[in-house]
Structure 1
Amino acid sequence: MTESTHNTPFTRPVWSDKELLECVSVYPEGPNTCSFTFRATSGALFDFDPGQFLTLEIPTGSGTVHRTYTISSSPSRPRTITITAKAQNDSIGTRWMLDNLKNGMRLKAIGPSGSFSNTRSKSKKFLFISAGSGITPMMSMTTCLWDEGQALDIVFISCARVPSELLFRQSLEYMANRTTGLNLRFVVEKAELYQPWTGYQGRLDQEMLRQMTPDYLDREVYCCGPEQFMQSVSKALSDTAYDMDRYHQESFGAAAPPSKQQAKLADKSLTCDGCAEVHFEKSDVLHKCAESDTILTAAKLAGVSIPAGCTFGLCGTCKIKKVSGEVHMAHSGGISEPDIQAGYILACCSTPIGKVSVEI
């Protein structure tokens, strides 16, 4: 018998964002929504926590933009990685992807990043609550638990405007039909014409939550969706006896509470017009600015290019090395403590304090 030369999962390298992703599938999930599946051209495997996200560099007609998308696939299926994106009326990057991204095309990606995951949770009972495309991290977590053959105890609440916008409904029902412990609850604001709806209808509130999950006090809660939706869920839980230390939400808009170091720096003046100075070393550019300007803003005004995605300290796309000086950085989890200790900052949410020098 000759030995096979085919790579096995045990010998393949792990993908890093230095390698481009190649699109291998574009699958429509709903109105203005598609799942895009990628592979590593080298055959490398993907290693990430369920619930993490990627930032894609998208070559739109008006220039390159960076957009952050939660990974909807599971790390238990490491040969490919999938993001699911919905285009809004004002979408640029996602609209370009829906209209132009095809099999064989390659994109640069940054990540995976993010700490919104149940990987390190000690709980065995979960309550996943999502609205719209906020379902993607819940889909990744659920699929991972299902693939690993764990005894599931999940109440999965998915909310949408109308039934046709309930993402992954068939995939979830497929899993629920083949195991116990995955309890699906679909909620829509209104039914569609000539399509009777027998599930929950209206906006998710405290009473509906009690009906769907009588034992919600015993469950670890993960919530993702539009900011207003997450605020209403958080309030519904906090108004009860629920332990909010067990509540987690993925937010692409709210800043994280400042660290002790950030709080000390925040006491310093950040409003002195023209009294800050940023030196972009590799570009050999010196730019004077206000201490209220971010490093990213200063770079744009100085004609220095720094890739950026979310612009509020979550995706980590704009991470650069600080050579000298002090900054005030109010990030939302897009940079790790070891990176901060090593001198890295996020340009989008760091403001200079006096003279600052950065590597770019």
Structure 2
Amino acid sequence: MNAMTELGLYRNLDEMAPWNDRLQVLEVIGVTDEAPDVRTFTFRSDNQTWFRYKPGQFVTLELPAEPAPVMRTYTLSSSPSRPFSIAVTVKAQAGSVGTRWMFDHLKPGVRIKAYGPSGDFSLHQHPAAKYLFVSAGSGITPMMSMLRWLNDCAPWTDVAFVNCARRPEEIIFRKELELLGTHMPGLSLGFMIEERSSREGWFGHMGRIDAVRLPLLSPDFREREVFCCGPDPFMRAVRGMLESSGFDMSRYHQESFAAPAVEEVPAPFSTPGGDSETVPDAVLPVRFALSDVDADCLSGQTVLQTARASGVRIPAACEFGLCGTCKVRKLSGEVEMSHNGGILDHEIDDGFILACCSKPLSAIEVEA
């Protein structure tokens, strides 16, 4: 009998269940160098499940770095059209604890915990006849996920793919993109670099993307659904160019893991004398069922803050309701939850909350 068959690796998709981030972990099955200080890590489930997600979504990895584990969020560069594995492509920035740990320790066979997938930065959310994917540096990863999906499922789609990098050798996925350009009749590629390199010649666009260069890279950009990802200054520049050109900004979408700016103002209440004062602190009991811990939640605290103060561990990454890592089931009681897309309506209907952005309105019990 074939060794692969003996290992049980041949299973049809309809014989497998979708990956469950609460029950299974990821196993590294491949590590690929993509560019200087850029690697792709490919994973499979440790329990032969398949991966269901939208191209452009992200996962949160729990990395057992020392002295304490760290949570890091990475966009998937793989495509859900190939559901037996997932991949993240990461750049090791100077001083980055999480990414440097991955470079030093993630080898085939290593297993890590992950949460997700999450996020709504996907062409599936905004179907269109024509797309413009514009990215810089490692911001190319969600664009690559979406382009790989299109190549597998709709290769005739009209896509203008623009990527900016510092030097030619730093263009991530360049060889694959050029190959896709020969297979996808509707794909146009536009690369732009900031400086020449001694390692290879360059005869393409140079400089930084601006109001003059954008129309050269995508002459009909005003007719396209635009997806943008990269460093914050880059995304601000692209957004500003589109706004000044009269582009319909309802068709502009950008990926960002930064918390939205929110100014919180203490709610006043009227005393019997008519004066307004700050609402006094109230204490509400919180029961963490799996940990067998009873705690007190002060007024204004979230379930996550209460858990940490009580020594109960709930995994969390972004901490503003985007990544979905801190999702827990609420068993009883009421909360006020203000999230940023990290939880789906049907999950809320099933009793789940995001601990990072849920504040108790009564005594509650959660499954943590």
TM (norm. structure 1) is: 0.87
Aligned 1:42-53 pairs, distance under 5 A: 42-53=47-58
Q: 1:73 aligns with which of 75, 78, 85?
A: 78
**Paired letter, 1:167:** I
Mapped pair 1:252 → 2:220: no
Alignment correspondent of 1:281:
288
Q: Return closer, same or farther for 1:202/1:117 CA change in 2, 3 Å cut-off.
A: same
Q: 1:156 aligns with which of 158, 161, 166?
A: 161
Mapped pair 1:331 → 2:339: yes
Alignment correspondent of 1:140:
145
Give me the whole-angstrom Cα distance separating, in 2, the residues matched to 1:277 and 1:37: 44
Give me the whole-angstrom Cα distance separating, in 1, the residues matched to 2:287 and 2:268: 23
Give me the whole-angstrom Cα distance separating, in 2, the residues matched to 1:222 and 1:72: 15
Q: 2:355 aligns with which of 347, 351, 356?
A: 347
**Paired letter, 1:16:** N
Deviation at 1:278, TM superposition (A): 4.9
Give 3-state SS (helix, strand or coil) of 1:79's partner: coil
**Paired letter, 1:13:** A
Aligned 1:154-303 pairs, distance under 5 A: 154-193=159-198, 195-255=200-260, 274-282=281-289, 283-291=292-300, 293-303=301-311
**Paired letter, 1:303:** G
Give me the whole-angstrom Cα distance separating, in 2, the residues matched to 1:166 and 1:296: 40
Q: Return closer, same or farther for 1:327/1:178 CA change in 2, 3 Å cut-off.
A: same
Q: Is the 2:268–2:279 Cα contact (8 Å) retained in structure 1?
A: no
Q: Is the 1:276–1:353 Cα contact (8 Å) retained in structure 2?
A: no
Equivalenced residue count is 350
Structure 1 unmatched ranges of 5 or more:
none
Alignment correspondent of 1:126:
131
Task: Please give the per-residue CA displacement for 1:187-227, whole angstroms capped at 9, x wherever unaligned.
Answer: 22222346443222222222211221111111111111122
Give me the whole-angstrom Cα distance separating, in 1, the residues matched to 2:268 and 2:177: 51
Q: Is the 1:254–1:332 Cα contact (8 Å) retained in structure 2?
A: no
- State which drifts further: 215-224 or 42-51: 42-51
Give 3-state SS (helix, strand or coil) of 2:144's partner: helix
Q: Give the % identical residues.
A: 45
Task: Please give the per-residue CA displacement for 1:276-334, whole angstroms capped at 9, x wherever unaligned.
Answer: 4451332323234351x433223222222111112221110001234555544332211
Structure 2 unmatched ranges of 5 or more:
270-277
Deviation at 1:257, TM superposition (A): 9.4
Deviation at 1:342, TM superposition (A): 4.0
Q: Is the 1:227–1:253 Cα contact (8 Å) retained in structure 2?
A: no
Deviation at 1:89, TM superposition (A): 2.3
TM (norm. structure 2) is: 0.86
